[in-house]
Structure 1
Amino acid sequence: MRIVLFLLCVLFIFSCEKQVDYYLYPAFSGENRLNAVIEIPAGTNRKIEYNSKTFSFEIDKIDGEDRVINYLPYLGNYGFVPSTFSDPKLGGDGDAIDIIVLAESVATGTVIETIPIAILKLLDDGEIDYKIVAIPSDISKQIVSVENFSEFDVKFPEIKGIIETWFLNYNTKDDAIIEGWGDEKEAVREIMKNLKQ
C-alpha cells in the first residue's frame, strides 16, 4: 500500500505542469536580438491574447463572442515583447510592446528570437500603439532577407505599404493614425524606454 501511495504522489508531482508567465521572459536574448511571444500566428483572423492571470492564450471576446478580424488575416506572427509595458501615464496603451514577426506561421505561445528591423509609429484612438517589425534571427526561418531598415525600405517598400494599410483597416472601430516609420535603432530605443523595472 505504501508503494502505491508513494507512486501516486510521485506521479502527481511530475504530472503538474509549471505555469510560465510569458510577460516575465527577458525582452532581449542577446546583442540586437529581441524575444517575441507569439499570440496570433500569421494567416489567422482570430484575435488571441495572452492572459497573465491564467497563464494561457485566449481568443479575445466582444459581447461574449469570439473576436474575429473581418479583414485580411494577420500578415505576420503577431504578439508582444516580454518584460515591456507601454505606460498609459506616458500616452501608452497599457500593454506590452507589440511586435509583428515577418515569417511563416508559428504556433501561439512560441517564443521566437528576432532581429528588429523597423518600428511602425501608430496612434490608436489617441494612444501610442507602436509596432516593432522584426524577422527571425534564424536565417532559415526568414522570408524577408534584410539586415536593417534601410535594406527593408529599399528592397521591400511595398511590404511597408501593405503593413500600413492592414493596420489602418483591420479594425474599423478604431481611429488609427500612422505617424511614420523608424529604423531598427529607434525600435530598440522604444523597447529600452518601455522595459519593466
Structure 2
Amino acid sequence: MKSLLCGLSLGFLLVFSGCKPSKDLSKLPGKTESGNYQAVIEIPAGTNKKIEYHKEKKEFLIDKRDGRDRIINFLPYPGNYGFIPSTFSSPKLGGDGDAADVLVLGESLKTGSVIEIIPIAVLKLIDEKELDYKIIAIPAELKDRTIISENYQNFNSDYPEVIKILESWFTYYDKSQVLEVEGWGDETEAVMEIEKWSSQP
C-alpha cells in the first residue's frame, strides 16, 4: 500500500506515513499556468503536530524541540499551514531563511497536498523583534472554499471574527515565543510579499 501511494501523482494523494515525494516539493513552480499560486500543505487544519517539509530528505517530519516531538499545546491549527514553493525569505533581506509561510483557509487537507490558492491578505507579526509575515489564502477552486472572499476588503467586512481568531491564535499558540500583531495587508501586499521572496526567474 505504501509503495502504491508513493507512485501516485506528486503531492495530491500523499499520506503522512513516511512516504517520500519523488521530487523536491520546495522547487515546484510557485505559480501555475493558470496564474494562481501554489501551496504545499505541511500541517492539516484541525491538527496540532508541528510538521515541516525537509527538502534535503524530501519528506515531512514532525519538528523537534529539546529532542521531543513538537506538539502545539493550544487549539489546533485554524487552517492548512504550509509554504509557497520556489520562494526563499533570505535572512540578508530580513527573512527567516525558509519559504514563504501560508495559511489556507478551508477544509482540512492532508500533509503533502499541493493546492492552487488565491492570496487574500497578509498577517504581519513581530517575532522577537523580527518581522514574520503569514500569507492568508483561500483555495482557487470554488468547491473547496469555506470563506467566500477573494480580497481583503471583503474578508475584513464579512469575516471580522475570523480575523480576530487568527490574530489571537498566532499570538498565543506558542508559549515559548512572544509574538505581536503589527497589522494586516491586503491581497496586493500579500502578492508583493510572495514575489519579494520568489526564486523563480
Asked whether the two chains share a fold, i.e. TM above 0.5, the reply is yes
Match of 1:139 among 137, 142, 145: 142
Which whole-Å CA distance do the structure 1 matches of 2:198 and 2:21 have between them? 25
| Deviates most, 82-91 or 109-118 | 82-91
Contact 2:21/2:59 (<8 A) preserved: no
Deviation at 1:105, TM superposition (A): 0.4
Which whole-Å CA distance do the structure 2 matches of 1:59 and 1:174 have between them? 19
Secondary structure of the residue aligned to 2:89 is coil
Contact 2:21/2:58 (<8 A) preserved: no
Q: Counterpart of 2:98 in structure 1: which amino acid?
A: D
- Structure 2 unaligned regions, length at least 5: 1-6, 8-19
Deviation at 1:127, TM superposition (A): 2.4
Map of 2:98 onto structure 1: 95
Map of 2:81 onto structure 1: 78
Map of 1:25 onto structure 2: 28
Contact 1:80/1:99 (<8 A) preserved: yes
Map of 2:130 onto structure 1: 127
1:1-197 residue pairs with structure 2 within 5 A?
A: 19-30=22-33, 33-196=36-199
Which whole-Å CA distance do the structure 2 matches of 1:93 and 1:150 have between them? 28
- Structure 1 unaligned regions, length at least 5: 1-13
Report the RMSD for the aligned CA atoms in angstroms.
1.5
Distance 1:18 1:41, change over 3 A: closer
Deviation at 1:30, TM superposition (A): 4.4
Deviation at 1:163, TM superposition (A): 0.2
Per-residue CA deviations over 1:64-110 (Å, capped at 9, x if unaligned) read 21100000000000000111111111221111110000010010000
Structure 1 moving runs of 4+ over 6 Å: none
Which whole-Å CA distance do the structure 1 matches of 2:40 and 2:21 have between them? 18
Q: What number of residue pairs does the alignment pair up?
A: 182
Q: Counterpart of 2:56 in structure 1: which amino acid?
A: K
Structure with a larger share of its residues in helix: 1
Per-residue CA deviations over 1:141-187 (Å, capped at 9, x if unaligned) read 00001121111011001101100000000011112121100010110
Secondary structure of the residue aligned to 2:52 is strand
Secondary structure of the residue aligned to 1:161 is helix
User: Which of 1 and 2 has greater Rg?
Assistant: 1
Q: Counterpart of 1:187 in structure 2: which amino acid?
A: A
Contact 1:33/1:116 (<8 A) preserved: no
Deviation at 1:128, TM superposition (A): 2.3
Distance 1:67 1:151, change over 3 A: same
Contact 2:30/2:37 (<8 A) preserved: yes
Secondary structure of the residue aligned to 1:129 is strand
Q: Counterpart of 2:81 in structure 1: which amino acid?
A: Y
| Deviates most, 54-63 or 172-181 | 172-181
Contact 1:86/1:93 (<8 A) preserved: yes
Distance 1:47 1:18, change over 3 A: closer
Secondary structure of the residue aligned to 1:186 is helix
